[in-house]
Structure formats: structure tokens, C-alpha cells
């Protein structure tokens, strides 16, 4: 069994793996036959999030050969419920607020899903698979694929911001990883020419990060919280507490709350040191300026989420497949991943540098 010192609370990781294993899985492993009419239509409210998804997918369509990485919508149209059914007592219609606008978004899948990402690396599959080397090989391939996809998004100033869930990532018939377009509702277009991008971040963070006294003290910590970078938590904290400006005491409060969430990946003293160093220059500054400063690190957020995802999966594989110490590339890889979940965003690598270092590890 290989011994990797990565300063992570292994007991907590084990409990989280067990918790995730028990969690109901909505995307069952499935083989789907060829279907020339493989249309996927979604009826949704025409609001900030659906507009955001359409805007971001339109930017993705500008990426050369985007269909090898992303499954974007083919078209959308507004819905007139009166045209669909004049009977207001119709049950399918009644559940919608007819005072709001709705759209039908159509996805014409170029490639048919054969297996969803979150099913491939299930613990049950690990324990039952005869050729365990396949999992290591596939782990490397999927990381490489996702990292390159995120780089393409980053080049278009898009933060995917949805890697805490892998239910919208699937393998096509060629076993290429495809990210479903419908998962971009809460992604972020951080084009700095867009003066409202900080407001978009605030709106999306408020929607994604739901922190209560119950889940912040859960054991292990709620995945919804610690799967996001610390800057996201800080932004949420400033908004939720309606803090006008930053102070030394507020920084202490933030550090105390963060220790409850991130301690299983970081030393508590290190959390306090890094956050204090990051925020101290902004004492007495209004929260809007602090949020704007923290938002500048958005280009590292997907790398943080991706790295955390693979740290968990690597631990899962090492623990259950009994790999010995000759697989030293895993220890080097974890060092890189651990660097990219640094509390201080200035210490994280860019996606491009991460790919370069990763390829060097494999050489």
C-alpha cells in the first residue's frame, strides 16, 4: 500500500465516500442504443439562469470542435401555454405560473451517452472490477480530458462552476467525456469587459451555496460547501451577514467558520494565516470592493474544484485497490492537486500550468 503524506484527514474522506455511496444516484449506468432522433427538450422558466445558460453556450459554440467536449443546445423557443392547451384546469399546465415566461430548449445530441462519469468511479465498480489497472488509466484520461475542456472554457472567460456534481458529464460511444449544456445555468461568464460579472457571481453564489448551522457543523462537512473554493465561501459570508465593510474581527469570524469546513484538507493555523494574509489589506474597505477583489481569482475556481474531485477519487482507488509504492506518479500528482486547493488562491496554478506539470509527471 503506498504511503502518501498529503496532510488530509483520511477518516473524513472515508466517511464522505461512504456517504456518497449511499446517496441516491439519479443517473444510473446505462447503455443506450443508437437513436437518430435523440432529442432532449427541456421546458424551463425564462429567467436569469436560463438566459445565462444560453449566453454561455453560445460562447462555447465559438470554440473549434466544441462538440467533442460539450453538448450545447440546438435551438430554443418561447412557450405560449394558451396555444398548447386552452384548458386552464389541465394538471400539467397548472403547475406553471402563467404570468411568467417559459422556453423550450432543445438539445440534439451529436453523441449518445453510454455511461455517466459519476457511475464509472463508483466504489462498487472498484471492488468488483477484475482489471483494476483500467481504473487508474481511465482516471488519468478523464482528468486530462476535463482539464483540457476547462482550459477551453477559461479561454472564453467561462467558469464552469459545477464540478461539485458530475451528474452532467458522460462518456459518449467513443468514451470521450462530454459536458451537458444544460449544466451551464450556474456557470459564470467573467469577461472583464462585462461590468456586471461581479453581480452575476453574487447571484450564482447565493443560489449554489446554501449554508445553515446544521450543514456547516455536519460530519463530514456538507459536500455542497467545501467543494467550492474559500473565496466563494467568503463572498457568501459577506452577503449573508450583510457586512458593510471588512474588519479584523470579521476576518477572525470568517476564519473560525472556514476552519469548520476546510480543516480536513488544511491545517487550522494555515487557514487562519492564509486568509488573514489575503484579507488584511482590505480592512475598512466596503464589501463590494472585497468581493470584486476575490472575484479576480475566478480563473482558479474550476481548477480548485477539479483538483478536489480527483483527490477524493485517488484516495478511493488507493484505499480499495491496494496499489503499491512503485506508482510514484500518484504521489506527485496529488502534490500538484493539493497545491491547486490552496486556501490562498495566489498559490494555485493556472489551468494551463497545471496541464503542463501534469504531463511532466506522466513522462
Which grid coordinates belong to 227?
Answer: 467543494
Question: CB–CB of 286/250 below 8 Å?
Answer: no
C-alpha 100/C-alpha 104 separation (Å) is: 14
| 22 has pLDDT over 60 | no
Range of the domain at 297: 1-34+111-363
Asked, for residue 76, whether it belongs to a domain, the answer is: no
How many domains would you assign to the chain? 1
- pTM confidence score: 0.83
Asked, for residue 101, whether it belongs to a domain, the answer is: no
Question: What is the tens place of the pLDDT at every residue in 247-289?
Answer: 999 999 999 888 887 877 777 788 889 999 999 999 999 999 9
Asked, for residue 49, whether it belongs to a domain, the answer is: no
Question: What is the tens place of the pLDDT at every residue in 212-233?
Answer: 555 444 444 455 566 889 999 9
- SS3 assignment, position 103: strand
- Let me know the angle formed at the C-alpha of 202 by 201 and 208, rounded to the nearest 5 degrees: 85
Asked, for residue 67, whether it belongs to a domain, the answer is: no
Asked, for residue 85, whether it belongs to a domain, the answer is: no
Asked, for residue 39, whether it belongs to a domain, the answer is: no
Asked, for residue 94, whether it belongs to a domain, the answer is: no
What is the DSSP track for 136-176? HHHHHHHHHHHHHHHHHHHHTTEE---TT--TTEEE-TT--
Asked, for residue 156, whether it belongs to a domain, the answer is: yes
Question: What is the tens place of the pLDDT at every residue in 121-180?
Answer: 665 566 555 566 777 788 889 999 999 999 999 999 999 999 877 788 988 887 788 999
In the sheet that 115-116 helps form, which strands lie side by side, from edge to edge? Answer: 70-71, 177-180, 169-171, 115-116
Which of 152-156, 200-204, 293-297, 349-353 bottoms out in mean pLDDT, i.e. has the lowest? Answer: 200-204
Question: CB–CB of 359/322 below 8 Å?
Answer: no
Amino acid at each position: 500500500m503506498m504511503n502518501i503524506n498529503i496532510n488530509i484527514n483520511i477518516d473524513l474522506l472515508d466517511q464522505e465516500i461512504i456517504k456518497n455511496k449511499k446517496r441516491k444516484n439519479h443517473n444510473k449506468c446505462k447503455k443506450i442504443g443508437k437513436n437518430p432522433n435523440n432529442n432532449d427538450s427541456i421546458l424551463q422558466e425564462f429567467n436569469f439562469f436560463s438566459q445565462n445558460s444560453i449566453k454561455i453556450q453560445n460562447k462555447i459554440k465559438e470554440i473549434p470542435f466544441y462538440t467533442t467536449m460539450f453538448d450545447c443546445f440546438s435551438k430554443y423557443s418561447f412557450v405560449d401555454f394558451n396555444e398548447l392547451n386552452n384548458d386552464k384546469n389541465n394538471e400539467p399546465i397548472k403547475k406553471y405560473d402563467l404570468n411568467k415566461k417559459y422556453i423550450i430548449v432543445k438539445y440534439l445530441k451529436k453523441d449518445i451517452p453510454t455511461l455517466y462519469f459519476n457511475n464509472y468511479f463508483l466504489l462498487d465498480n472498484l471492488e468488483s472490477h477484475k482489471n483494476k489497472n483500467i481504473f487508474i488509466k481511465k482516471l488519468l484520461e478523464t482528468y486530462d480530458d476535463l482539464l483540457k475542456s476547462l482550459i477551453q472554457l477559461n479561454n472564453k472567460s467561462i467558469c464552469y462552476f459545477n464540478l461539485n456534481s458530475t451528474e452532467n458529464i458522460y462518456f459518449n460511444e467513443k468514451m470521450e467525456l462530454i459536458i451537458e449544456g444544460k449544466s451551464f445555468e450556474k456557470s459564470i461568464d467573467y469577461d472583464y469587459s462585462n461590468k456586471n460579472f461581479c453581480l452575476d457571481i453574487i447571484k450564482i453564489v447565493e443560489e449554489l451555496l446554501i449554508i445553515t448551522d446544521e450543514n456547516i457543523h455536519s460530519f463530514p462537512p456538507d459536500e455542497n460547501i467545501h467543494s467550492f473554493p474559500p473565496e466563494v465561501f467568503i463572498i457568501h459570508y459577506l452577503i449573508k451577514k450583510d457586512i458593510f465593510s471588512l474588519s479584523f474581527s470579521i476576518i477572525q469570524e470568517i476564519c473560525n467558520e472556514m476552519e469548520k469546513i476546510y480543516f480536513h484538507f488544511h491545517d487550522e493555523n494555515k487557514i487562519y494565516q492564509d486568509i488573514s494574509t489575503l484579507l488584511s489589506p482590505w480592512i475598512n474597505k466596503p464589501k463590494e470592493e472585497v468581493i470584486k477583489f476575490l472575484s479576480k481569482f475566478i480563473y482558479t475556481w474550476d481548477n480548485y474544484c477539479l483538483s478536489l474531485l480527483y483527490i477524493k477519487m485517488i484516495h478511493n482507488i488507493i484505499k480499495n485497490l491496494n496499489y503499491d509504492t512503485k506508482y510514484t506518479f500518484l504521489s506527485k500528482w496529488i502534490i500538484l492537486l493539493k497545491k491547486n486547493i490552496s486556501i490562498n488562491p495566489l498559490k494555485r496554478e493556472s489551468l494551463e500550468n497545471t496541464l503542463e506539470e501534469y504531463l511532466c509527471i506522466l513522462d
